[in-house]
Structure 1
Amino acid sequence: MKQQAVLIVGAGPVGVLNALGLARAGVPVTVLERGAGISDAPRAMVYHWSVLDGLEKLGLFESAVDRGFLKQGYTYKVFKTGEEVSFGLEALEGKVKHPYNLHLGQNALVELALAELAEFPHAQVLWNAEVNEISQDEDEVRVCATVEGSSTQLAARWLIGADGARSTVREQIGADFEGMTWPERFVATNIRVDLEAHGWPLTTMLIDDRYGAIVSKIDTANLWRFTYCEDESLPVETVAERMPEYFEAVFPGVHDIELVDYSPYRMHQRASSTFRVGRVLLAGDAAHATNPTGGLGLTSGLFDTFILYEALAAVINDRAEESILDEYAKLRREVFVEKASPAASRNKSLVFHSSDLQEVAAVMAGLRALSTDSDALLDRLMFPKTLETPSLLVEQSTPAAATEAHV
């Protein structure tokens, strides 16, 4: 059983981008993915401006922009009254390198990253690779897996668990997934329709306690994401049967909607009790899970990635002490628990559970006031940057904290 440098479990964006970063640093890496290929089920698709520097450092920014599109605006709309408030990211111009968000399905980002990864002979991806057991000692991590139906033993100096909220890696290292699960079910749909022709902005947060939703354009071929919330006690097997009611209520008069795909799932606000046990590290949804309102789950996972691959490569190449990985685990957990998760919870409450129209009117008035208060607008727009942890290899100032958490 030949020892490798790093094993990564999970070929989602966090796993593959960690692999790419390590491979670029000259570190041999193998990714194990239990699926047969890239999942194209509806998943995250908005990349806040704050993570685009990291994608550029990995050499993915230009190809990602070519595949997706850039956008600067948000719209909040009250379902019951039709009131709308919009604001944009123009206030960031001249202050940050990339003053816009990127829209791109995460499956497309993974495809782009895998194409880059294939250029490195010391990197490989094993599909249909199910991890069954993990053990470790002071020198290595050992993995028992089923790869293409055959029992396989692998060993490495380090292992990154990026295998999602139901992480086998997290379970194997004995970490608890602390937090709570929401009593509602989210239903993420990909629909093909020209909503712009029907007056819909590129991103709308639709506020309502019954028909609250996130409506956002994914690509330039009129693929849109429509995510709504339903009672978790309703049969998951009949989600599709209930879907037309939401379409008709939210998109009245729009009759040419093509349902491309959908994914019902439970929502969590949870964090692993630790992000490191010995030679095993957790990142992305394996380390923390949040409801998707505001796109803070993917943002958090990418910020995990940007400092983890850099720190781990430095340890492997004898440029840093192993203690730097404890710092990774501590800081990334703190950021999620103290900032990302509470912000996502407040976002969810506003969009999906606002029943008091007077309270909603006050929120909309506050949003409208941003058009005349440049400092407040900039503070709001800077929030995604506060989820970043600066490089652990050089001294950098900590990003200024925003006063509130926002979508």
Structure 2
Amino acid sequence: MAAHSAHVIVAGGGPVGLLAALGLARRGIRVTVVERETELNDSPRAAVYHWCVIEVLEALGVREDAEAEGVVVRGNTFHRPSTGESVQISQRAIEGVVPFPYNLNLGQDRLGRICLEHLERLPNATVLRGVGVTDVRQDADTVTAVLADGSELAGDWLVGADGGRSTVRKALGLDFPGMTWGDRFVATNIRFDFEAYGYGRANMVMDEELGCIVALLDREGLWRVTFAESDDLPEGGLPERIDAFLQRLLPGDEKRYELVQYSPYHMHQRAAERFRVGRVLLAGDAAHLTNPTGAMGLTTGVFDVELLVDRLAAVIAGDASPDALDDYAERRRAAFLENASPTAIRFKHLVYDGVKADIDEAFEQYLRVEADPVASREFFLGVESLREPEFRSAS
């Protein structure tokens, strides 16, 4: 591992920021992560890692630890409670085609903890918690992060991975065009034995009234159920509305469940006007926001990391000109706008908007895919369109 004198500041200690820091530090680059929260955020958030994302986790050295804590998923299941229809598309179709022919369900806080443990082993990585970035200044040669405690941190490059409300993006004066949905997503973590009623480990419930995502999060029987409601409803009555929804959704006569956590949040489709300004690069939610249906946001963020680490490390090593960072910015913005966002919108429509004709058509399609190994393979390989071509393991 060659050492470099360059210093990269990473603003944001979520999965994207920590993975970026880990990738750069493993290249011998000095990295400092700055995170305003003192503890990892354990509220319910996106938790699905597609098979091709697992390849990035492998390259960064955290796959085995992630799989030891998460749940391996070998297929996608689609349910329609109003008709009793159910379709399961198996990932056996991509066995022998890709290195890791399965998905992984894992809470983001758990992945964050794993990344922190790996960063702690690297002498060139530092993590500062409890102090966020409040401003960014830069000139031709350096970039400076102004921190909430009044101190300043100087570096050669800065990665803004500080979430949808990114202070870094705002400090750069970048617009964040797009739209906000009129729905409120409600992510719940509950304990209930879904598998006893024919549910797989990753489920899309496409139904005129009961659309939601149902996914197993750990080996102790914790499940994520995410549904949508009108943004006009007061958050004060949310626990009662969660119970009303679950009483209608849960199969069987005994609808006893344990509500462990819940988190309401707004949904957006937005992308920063640029992903690079001088010595500052944006990645993950700081660069783009999407509704989480289908895990397109998290997936795109990890693929941001893959290209960012490759390009920035090459620039620092003198193997590429800074123009390579414009290439990163342009390609990842296009990947989001042309692939990730449209795909997430389509899945949101099918799961949460309850349009009967479209659900009918989707189930007909999934039945055909289920019966056709070639179609099943293409179904799972499609998500790799969010990834840059030079990293793809399958075509």
One-letter amino acid matched to 2:220 = A
One-letter amino acid matched to 1:332 = R
Map 1:96-245 to 2 at 5 A: 96-146=98-148, 150-245=149-244
One-letter amino acid matched to 1:283 = A
The answer to whether 1:312 aligns with 2:290 is no
One-letter amino acid matched to 2:93 = A
Counterpart in the other structure of 1:251? 250
How far has the Cα of 1:184 moved from its partner? 0.2
Deviations 1:139-191 (A, max 9, x none): 11112112xxx321111110000011111111111111111110000001111
Mapped partners of 2:342, 2:283: distance in 1: 19
One-letter amino acid matched to 1:377 = S
**Which sections of structure 1, spanning at least 5 residues, go unmatched?**
401-407
How far has the Cα of 1:231 moved from its partner? 0.2
Question: Do 1:7 and 1:30's aligned partners in 2 also have CA atoms closer than 8 Å?
Answer: yes
Counterpart in the other structure of 2:27? 25
Question: Do 2:76 and 2:89's aligned partners in 1 also have CA atoms closer than 8 Å?
Answer: yes
Deviations 1:80-106 (A, max 9, x none): 212111111111011111111011111
One-letter amino acid matched to 2:371 = T
Mapped partners of 2:358, 2:317: distance in 1: 55
One-letter amino acid matched to 2:67 = V
The answer to whether 1:291 aligns with 2:291 is yes
* SS of alignment partner, residue 96 of structure 1: coil
Mapped partners of 1:282, 1:236: distance in 2: 32
How far has the Cα of 1:399 moved from its partner? 6.6
How far has the Cα of 1:204 moved from its partner? 1.5
Question: Do 1:389 and 1:398's aligned partners in 2 also have CA atoms closer than 8 Å?
Answer: no
**Equivalences, count:** 390
Cα 1:359–1:173 change in 2 (3 A) is closer
Question: Do 2:98 and 2:393's aligned partners in 1 also have CA atoms closer than 8 Å?
Answer: no
One-letter amino acid matched to 1:35 = E
How far has the Cα of 1:373 moved from its partner? 2.7
Counterpart in the other structure of 1:80? 82
Mapped partners of 2:206, 2:82: distance in 1: 8
Mapped partners of 2:241, 2:332: distance in 1: 39
Counterpart in the other structure of 1:371? 370
Q: Normalization by structure 2: what TM-score?
A: 0.95
How far has the Cα of 1:194 moved from its partner? 2.3
RMSD across aligned C-alpha pairs, in angstroms? 1.6
Deviations 1:351-402 (A, max 9, x none): 111232x4422321111111333332222111111110145xxxx78974xx
Mapped partners of 1:99, 1:165: distance in 2: 31
Question: Do 2:193 and 2:221's aligned partners in 1 also have CA atoms closer than 8 Å?
Answer: yes
How far has the Cα of 1:208 moved from its partner? 2.3
Cα 1:283–1:254 change in 2 (3 A) is farther
Cα 1:30–1:248 change in 2 (3 A) is same
One-letter amino acid matched to 1:86 = Q
How far has the Cα of 1:307 moved from its partner? 1.4
Question: Do 2:50 and 2:104's aligned partners in 1 also have CA atoms closer than 8 Å?
Answer: yes
Question: Do 2:9 and 2:155's aligned partners in 1 also have CA atoms closer than 8 Å?
Answer: yes
Cα 1:321–1:4 change in 2 (3 A) is closer
Mapped partners of 1:254, 1:230: distance in 2: 25
Counterpart in the other structure of 1:49? 51
Q: Normalization by structure 1: what TM-score?
A: 0.92
State, as a whole percentage, how many aligned pairs show the same letter.
Answer: 45
Deviations 1:225-283 (A, max 9, x none): 00000000111233223111011010143433111111100001111110000000000
Question: Do 2:207 and 2:359's aligned partners in 1 also have CA atoms closer than 8 Å?
Answer: no
Deviations 1:199-239 (A, max 9, x none): 32212211124321000001101011000000001112332
* SS of alignment partner, residue 220 of structure 1: coil
* SS of alignment partner, residue 35 of structure 1: coil
Question: Do 2:10 and 2:31's aligned partners in 1 also have CA atoms closer than 8 Å?
Answer: yes
**Which sections of structure 2, spanning at least 5 residues, go unmatched?**
none
Mapped partners of 2:56, 2:258: distance in 1: 34
* SS of alignment partner, residue 129 of structure 1: coil
Once superposed, which parts of structure 1, at least 4 consecutive aligned residues long, lie more than 4 Å away?
396-400
Question: Do 1:388 and 1:399's aligned partners in 2 also have CA atoms closer than 8 Å?
Answer: no
Question: Do 1:386 and 1:399's aligned partners in 2 also have CA atoms closer than 8 Å?
Answer: no
